[in-house]
Amino acid sequence: MDTTRTLLVTGATGGIGQATVLALLAEGHRVVATGRDATSLLALQGKARDAGHTLVVIELDVTSASSLAEARADVLARVGVPDVIVHAAGIAELGPLMITTEPALERHFATNVLGAMAVTRAFLEPMRTRGSGRIVHVGAVVDRLTLATHGAYGASMYALRALNDTLRQELRPFGIDVVLVEPGTVRTGFLDAAFDGLDAKRTEGSRWNEVIDRLQTLKRAVSWIGVAPERVASVLVKASTVPSPRRRYGVTAAGATVQLGAKHLLPTRAFDGLVRATLGLAKRVGVAKSLGTPIALVTGAGGRLGGPSALALAKAGFRVFATDSDPATLVHLEGHENVETLSLDVTDPRSVGSALREVDARTGGYGVDLLLNSAGYVDPAPMDLVDERTWQRTFAVNAVGAMRVTRLVAQRMCDRGSGRIVNVSSVAGVMAFPFVGPYQASKFALEALSDALRQELHPFGVDVVLIEPSFIADGFADRVAKSIESRGEAAAHWRPILPHLPAIEGRLGVLGGDAEEVAQVVAEAATMPRPSPRFAAPWTASVAVRAEPWLPAAVTDRVFHELFALGDVGARPAS
């Protein structure tokens, strides 16, 4: 039996990607190596030739739709539909989130998450028609281990894990395996590039300069505990070629294993303290006086959660500035005591700046004591039906938009020595399931951003809190049905799910809660003197959040397979 595979590897000119290409060739497989740098691709091709192998190289920028279209046509013409896609393309940039620019955050998502999904979609339909295929994502141990100064990269890795898990559940009925390989630190040029931009983040008098100094001194130690790229490549070869792969493969040195254990076993405050001490973030400033009546800014106040939360905060004694990109959605809040409405679109820097200047004008330049990031966007659909625009919109609102407002508001809080940021995440930011892939990926990212911010801002008197609601009914069944029906024959393989959607929504509703219940939890998180890092509502959400780190993926996959009636979709071909 011929076990030779045809594999497409992205990011093949980097350390892990290059090592994987050479290891696959040595095993006798057909490999298409792709990357952005044509010169490096030719050098890799020469190295393969010197070793007696034939290597196909194709230029590909995973963030460019035109580049991907050209590469796809070239791949299909030269080798046909790949048996396996190995996603090794990625970028990393370290530094505190408060001085990480929005373009830098967007680049992480565009390359590490949206780029991977775009390449998968390019070949998914022929894989599904064939009834077989495999997608292998190169993640990182920081997809579960949030660290200060790793916020942007960690957020993209959290999002990639969500993407991977959702794809795995949705594609398994069609005979396609999806595998995640999670290395720790790897001794490659990728690591050097992650540290190289730190000097450019320095500004005179910045509160973050000492953190940058400490991070640079840690580079040698971080490199020392790393593993060789060849070790990761050997695991990727296994994940790509064995008949029945595991869902996840870890490739970590002892140091990373200890960190993961500490993260899961220690109380969050204790783990945060260790991280801050390592990075020189242990000093906490004194708390300044406030105006008396605390000021709250709520984004997305026209939404299902934002409106009730704004009213709950007003009832709790806050002067609330309720904002939304669509002022018409705020009409029901006008006239309520302690509530003022403003237009604010979190995806538009000018709109954000204008709204915050208006808040300053109405508070005598004080700013806000509490920021509630509840603006959100979700467009439920199976992952293979989601277009690039939806992915971009989802991340622009749920992750980049939240950080845009946070960075501007938190600067003033740090200067003042007090403040609180409450981010509305979701159980879908902790546990991935079918039909809401982009939303889940963005909420996983928000979880990582929030954890890194909490570690970084605590020394300056600013608390960062996550709210993790469970399912709240919002026409889920009708919206998924519309996404399938509107795509005609391109979505024919999902039509068997249509009769089950009302029942699926009903099952989710049993596990869910209501917006008013979540709003009360928001008010509690906003007013507690020493809030917990996370609040889940209702009790079902708390159970899910606490259980997720300990549940094997095989268990959750089986539960969601039944819950979402995936047994009626597709058919796994016989061996």
> Two tokens at 119?
């390449």
Q: How confident is the model at residue 389 (pLDDT cuts 50, 70, 90)?
A: very high
User: Given a cut of 70, is residue 286 above it in pLDDT?
Assistant: no
Tokens coding 144: 């579960």
Q: pLDDT tens-digit profile of 419-476? A: 999 999 999 999 999 999 999 999 999 999 999 999 999 999 999 999 999 887 678 8
Which residues, other chains included, contact 377 with Cβ-Cβ below 8 Å and sequence gap of 6+? 393, 394, 396, 397, 398, 439
Residue type, 321: F
Band the pLDDT of 572: cuts 50, 70, 90.
very low
Indicate if the pLDDT at residue 259 is higher than 80: no
Tell me: pLDDT of 241 over 50: yes
Q: Are 102 and 404 in contact (CB under 8 A)?
A: yes
Kindly report the three-state secondary structure assignment for every residue of 57-75.
EEECCCCCHHHHHHHHHHH
Three-state DSSP at 367 gives coil
* Cα–Cα nearest to 92, from 15, 34, 2: 15
Q: How far is Cα 26 from Cα 278, in angstroms, rounded to an integer?
A: 42
Could you give the CA distance from residue 115 to residue 62 in angstroms, rounded to a whole number? 5
Q: Is the per-residue pLDDT at 122 higher than 50?
A: yes
Predicted pLDDT of residue 283: 67
* Amino acid code (one letter) for 43: A
Residue/partner pairs of 254-259 with CB below 8 Å, 24 or more apart: 254/225, 255/184, 255/185, 255/225, 256/141, 256/145, 256/184, 256/185, 256/225, 257/184, 259/141, 259/145
Where does 325-452 show beta strands of DSSP type E? 339-343, 370-373, 419-424
Phi, psi angles (nearest 5°) of residue 297: -115, 125
pLDDT of 361 over the 50 cut = yes
Phi and psi at residue 97, to the nearest 5°: -65, -30
Helices of type H across 512-552: 515-527, 539-547
In the chain, how long is the greatest CA-to-CA distance? 77
Cα–Cα–Cα angle for 345, 349, 354, rounded to 5 degrees: 75
pLDDT band at 372 (very low <50, low <70, confident <90, very high): very high
Kindly list the strands in the beta sheet with 248-251, ordered across the sheet, starting from the edge strand earlier in the chain: 56-59, 30-35, 6-10, 84-87, 133-138, 176-183, 248-251
Residue 60 is predicted with a pLDDT of 98
What is residue 11's predicted lDDT score, i.e. its pLDDT? Answer: 97
Query: Over 305-335, what HEC string results?
Result: CHHHHHHHHHHCCCEEEEEECCHHHHHHHCC
Rounded Cα gap, residues 292 and 139, in angstroms: 47
Report whether pLDDT(7) > 50: yes
Residue that wins the pLDDT comparison between 187 and 417: 417
Interhelix angle for 189-196 vs 15-26, to 10°? 170
The CB density around residue 23, as the number of other CB atoms within 10 Å, is 21
Report angle CA 379, 383, 387 to the nearest 5 degrees. Answer: 65
Q: What is the pLDDT of residue 253?
A: 64
Given this chain, do its domains 6-278 and 295-476+515-544 carry the same CATH topology?
Answer: yes
Give the mean model confidence (pLDDT) for residues 274-292: 72
pLDDT for 86 equals 98
Q: What are the extents of the domains in the chain?
A: 6-278, 295-476+515-544
DSSP string, 451-505: HHHHHHHGGGTEEEEEEEE----SSHHHHHHHHHHTTGGGGGGGGGGGGGHHHHH
Place of tokens 């208006």: 358
Whether the per-residue pLDDT at 37 is higher than 80: the answer is: yes
What is the per-residue pLDDT for 573? 41
Write out the catalytic residue numbers: 153
Q: Supply the mean pLDDT for the chain.
A: 92
Question: Do 35 and 112 contact (CB within 8 A), yes or no?
Answer: no
Sign of torsion over alpha carbons 415, 416, 417, 422:
negative
Residue 262 scores a pLDDT above 80: no
219, pLDDT greater than 90 = no
Averaged pLDDT for residues 408-412: 95
β-sheet bridge partners, residue 176: 133
Closest CA to 95 of 216, 217, 269: 216
What is the identity of the amino acid at 429?
A: G
d(CA 29, CA 104): 36
Q: What is the pLDDT of residue 291?
A: 61
CATH superfamily of the domain spanning 295-476+515-544: NAD(P)-binding Rossmann-like Domain (3.40.50.720)
**Which contiguous run of DSSP H or E holds residue 98?**
none
Residues near 542 by beta carbon (within 8 Å), at least 6 away in sequence? 536
Angstrom distance (rounded) from CA 345 to CA 375: 9
pTM: 0.95
Split at pLDDT 50, 70, 90, the class of 268 is confident
Measured between its terminal Cα atoms, the distance across the chain in Å is 12
Question: By the 8 A CB rule, do 408 and 297 touch?
Answer: no
At residue 382 the predicted structure's pLDDT band, cuts being 50, 70 and 90, is very high
> Which class in CATH covers the domain with range 6-278?
alpha beta
pLDDT at 575 over 50: no
Q: Which residue has the tokens 């020469």?
A: 46
Q: Per residue in 126-163, pLDDT tens?
A: 999 999 999 999 999 899 888 899 999 999 999 999 99
Residue 265 is predicted with a pLDDT of: 76
Is 574's pLDDT higher than 60?
no
Mapping DSSP to helix (H, G, I), strand (E, B) and coil, where does residue 341 land? strand
Confidence of residue 545 (pLDDT cuts 50, 70, 90): confident
Q: Is the pLDDT of residue 246 over 80?
A: yes
Rounded Cα–Cα distance for residues 223 and 202 (Å) = 23
Rounded CA-CA distance 573/553 in Å is 23
How confident is the model over 64-118, as pLDDT tens digits? Answer: 999 999 999 999 999 999 999 999 999 999 999 999 999 999 999 999 999 999 9
> How far is 551 from 166, CA to CA, in rounded Å?
16
